[in-house]
């Protein structure tokens, strides 16, 4: 059993946080807990926001919600897991199944008061764990808890996606590419938007049906209507926020579903929702998902042998560079930190 474990933690730096290295003594699993040796962690846009928000996140917090590793010890009451099992921890450890409760927000890993995954060892409640699919590496599995579960929840749990339906995803970040891969594997027709023709070419290689460069076609809602012969898109993963919402409403089909997910252009969305009434369309608020959602996702990934898109992997000591790479918005897919 390790006597010390390295991690990164948030430290005040003026009006923002910076990442500082730290260590802590070996952790001991309580009766219902599991001790995990983290093999890899991954970043989400939320992690950039956390650095900018000392008012909502405590000093010394270990960041990152997403990671995967190997069980090294289990508590006396744990029967499902054993040493050597490969596992991920759910984004909301307290949301294990059933309906959503706002109370789970406080348990989200890597934010607020709850330590996350950027540590060599973590403790987790046994009920918050999900097995890593056999065909995935720990680095690939580390990308799943937030982005992949969010896309799965939006399209399959709430959206009830059907083969042959159309899906539009905004950009080529983690949620967008998982949405593309999951929907394409299910037989849906996926439209991807991006400002980069090179990224759109890579999206087509992953199975995108059509692509729209919103830099050369800023009225991408009109382009989506043209692609669908005027009908509109059945499902939209709304990832942008204020700068994209009205166009999402313009592009949605009658009876379609907009999954409200992202805040890439800010938090102050005030779209004109009246057109939804006359389209009988709807907006679904999506906030990651439960352990049960995660388990159904991993079953689907295993069945279709889907591998996450990892843009770049950084060494543990280079964690600040991983944040900078995500901030640059040059990535295609997920940014991973190797803790092995």
CATH of the domain at 238: 3.40.50.720
Q: From 285, 300, 327, give the residue that closes a domain.
A: 285
Encoded tokens for 208: 């995108």
CB 278, CB 302: distance < 8 Å:
no
- Identify whether residues 40 and 82 lie together within a single domain: yes
Q: From 270, 285, 300, give the residue that closes a domain.
A: 285
- Identify whether residues 86 and 135 lie together within a single domain: yes
Residue 151 phi/psi, 5-degree rounding, is -65, -40
Does residue 293 fall inside a structural domain? no
- Identify whether residues 196 and 317 lie together within a single domain: no
Segment 207-223, tens digit of pLDDT? 999 999 999 999 999 99
Total tally of structural domains belonging to the chain: 2
Encoded tokens for 266: 């800010």
- Count helices and strands in the chain by DSSP H and E runs: 10, 15
CB 336, CB 139: distance < 8 Å:
yes
Integer-rounded Cα Rg, in Å, for the chain is 20
| CA–CA distance, 57 with 245 (Å, rounded to integer) | 28
Structural domain of 332? 4-143+308-338
**Degrees (nearest 5) of the Cα angle 242, 186, 229?**
60
**Degrees (nearest 5) of the Cα angle 117, 332, 8?**
20
| CA–CA distance, 203 with 181 (Å, rounded to integer) | 9
Entry pTM:
0.95
| CATH number of the domain to which 323 belongs | 3.90.180.10
| CA–CA distance, 274 with 156 (Å, rounded to integer) | 26
- Identify whether residues 184 and 161 lie together within a single domain: yes
- Identify whether residues 154 and 132 lie together within a single domain: no
Does residue 292 fall inside a structural domain? no
Does residue 330 fall inside a structural domain? yes
Does residue 277 fall inside a structural domain? yes
Query: According to the model, what pLDDT value does residue 271 have?
Result: 82
- Identify whether residues 280 and 316 lie together within a single domain: no
- pLDDT band for position 168 (cuts 50, 70, 90): very high
Encoded tokens for 252: 């949605």
Does residue 161 fall inside a structural domain? yes
- Identify whether residues 189 and 72 lie together within a single domain: no
More confident site: 241 or 244: 244
| CA–CA distance, 158 with 167 (Å, rounded to integer) | 14
User: Mean pLDDT, the chain, as a whole number?
Assistant: 95
Query: According to the model, what pLDDT value does residue 91 have?
Result: 98
- Identify whether residues 61 and 138 lie together within a single domain: yes
Does residue 295 fall inside a structural domain? no
- Identify whether residues 185 and 257 lie together within a single domain: yes
Tell me how far CA of residue 124 lies from CA of 38, 43, 159, 199, 295, in angstroms. Answer: 12, 19, 30, 37, 17
- pLDDT band for position 144 (cuts 50, 70, 90): very high
Angle of helix 174-185 relative to helix 291-304, nearest 10 degrees, comes to 60
Tell me how far CA of residue 61 lies from CA of 112, 192, 215, in angstroms. Answer: 8, 35, 38
Nearest partner of 155 among 119, 126, 190, judged by Cα: 190
Nearest partner of 154 among 299, 286, 333, judged by Cα: 286
| CA–CA distance, 85 with 214 (Å, rounded to integer) | 44
- pLDDT band for position 268 (cuts 50, 70, 90): low
- Identify whether residues 137 and 163 lie together within a single domain: no
- Identify whether residues 130 and 232 lie together within a single domain: no
Q: Identify the DSSP state of 162.
A: -
- Identify whether residues 129 and 167 lie together within a single domain: no
Query: According to the model, what pLDDT value does residue 200 have?
Result: 98
Does residue 300 fall inside a structural domain? no
Q: Identify the DSSP state of 278.
A: H
Tell me how far CA of residue 143 lies from CA of 53, 60, 117, 260, in angstroms. Answer: 23, 24, 12, 20
Segment 22-57, tens digit of pLDDT? 999 878 999 999 999 999 999 999 999 999 999 999
Residue 258 phi/psi, 5-degree rounding, is -100, 125
Does residue 233 fall inside a structural domain? yes
- pLDDT band for position 243 (cuts 50, 70, 90): confident
CA 161 to chain centroid = 19
Query: According to the model, what pLDDT value does residue 155 have?
Result: 98
Number of Cβ within a 10 Å radius of residue 283: 18
């Amino acid at each position: 059993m390790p006597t010390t474990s390295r991690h990164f933690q948030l430290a005040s730096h003026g009006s923002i946080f910076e990442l500082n290295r730290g260590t802590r003594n070996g952790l001991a699993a309580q009766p219902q807990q599991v001790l995990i040796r983290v093999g890899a962690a991954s970043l989400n846009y939320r992690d950039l926001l956390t650095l900018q928000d000392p008012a909502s996140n405590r000093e010394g917090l270990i960041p990152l919600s997403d990671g995967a590793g190997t069980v090294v010890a289990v508590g006396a009451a744990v029967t499902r897991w054993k040493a050597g099992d490969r596992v991920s921890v759910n984004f909301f450890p307290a949301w294990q199944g059933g309906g959503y409760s706002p109370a789970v927000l406080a348990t989200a890993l890597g934010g607020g008061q709850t330590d996350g995954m950027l540590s060599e060892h973590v403790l987790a409640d046994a009920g918050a764990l999900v097995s890593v699919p056999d065909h995935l590496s720990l680095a690939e599995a580390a990308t799943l808890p937030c982005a992949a579960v969010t896309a799965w929840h939006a399209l399959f749990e709430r959206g009830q996606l059907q083969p042959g339906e159309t899906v539009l995803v905004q950009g080529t970040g983690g949620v967008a590419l998982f949405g593309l891969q999951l929907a394409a594997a299910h037989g849906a027709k996926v439209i991807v938007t991006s400002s980069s023709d090179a990224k759109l070419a890579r999206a087509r290689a992953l199975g995108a049906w059509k692509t729209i460069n919103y830099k050369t076609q800023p009225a991408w809602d009109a382009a989506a209507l043209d692609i669908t012969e005027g009908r509109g898109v059945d499902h939209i993963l709304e990832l942008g926020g204020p700068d994209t919402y009205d166009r999402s409403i313009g592009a949605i089909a009658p009876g379609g579903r907009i999954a409200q997910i992202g805040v890439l252009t800010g938090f102050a969305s005030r779209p004109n929702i009246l057109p939804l009434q006359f389209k009988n369309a709807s907006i679904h608020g999506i906030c990651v998902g439960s352990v049960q959602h995660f388990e159904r996702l991993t079953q689907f990934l295993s069945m279709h042998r889907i591998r996450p898109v990892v843009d770049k992997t950084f060494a543990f000591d280079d964690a600040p560079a991983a944040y900078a790479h995500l901030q640059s918005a040059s990535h295609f897919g997920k940014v991973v930190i190797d803790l092995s």
